[in-house]
Amino acid sequence: MAQVALTKRIILDVLKPLQPNALEFARHLAEEIPNCRFIVKVAEVDRQTESLLVEIIGDEIHAEDIYSVITKLSATVHSIDEVEVESTNNSVDQSLIEERSNDLD
C-alpha cells in the first residue's frame, strides 16, 4: 500500500483590493471550492487594499485550485503561513490499479 499525504489545513496571507469585501471574498471561495471550510480574518486595511488571513480546512485541499480562485478575485497570495498535512495509507493496493490498467489494454 502506498502512503499518501493529504493537505488538511492551510493559512494564507492574501492581499486583495477593497472590493469584494471579506464576506463576499469568503463566499466566492466557498462557492468555487467544494468540501472546504473558509475562515477569513482581515489583518490590515489601507486606502486601496486589504490583507487577509485565509484559513482553509478540508479533507483533501488542492492548493492550486484555491490559488486560481484567489487570482480570479484580483487577489494575490503573499505567503503560506501555516500548513497541516496528514500521512495516510492509500486504501487501494497499487497492484490492483496496475492489473486493471493492463485489462484495459
Q: Are 12 and 61 in contact (CB under 8 A)?
A: no
Cα-based angle 37, 39, 41 (whole degrees, multiple of 5): 170
Q: Answer with the residue of higher pLDDT: 78 or 90.
A: 78
Answer whether CATH 3.30.70.1340 is correct for domain 3-104: yes
pLDDT of 105 > 80? The answer is no
Q: Domain ranges in the chain?
A: 3-104
Q: What's this model's pTM, rounded to 2 decimal places?
A: 0.79
pLDDT of 96 > 50? The answer is no
Q: Which residues contact 20 (CB under 8 A, 6 or more apart)?
A: 28, 73
pLDDT, tens digit, for every residue of 14-70?
Answer: 999 999 999 999 999 999 999 999 999 999 999 999 999 999 999 999 999 999 999
Instruction: Give the lowest-confidence range in 6-15, 40-49, 68-77, 82-91.
Output: 82-91
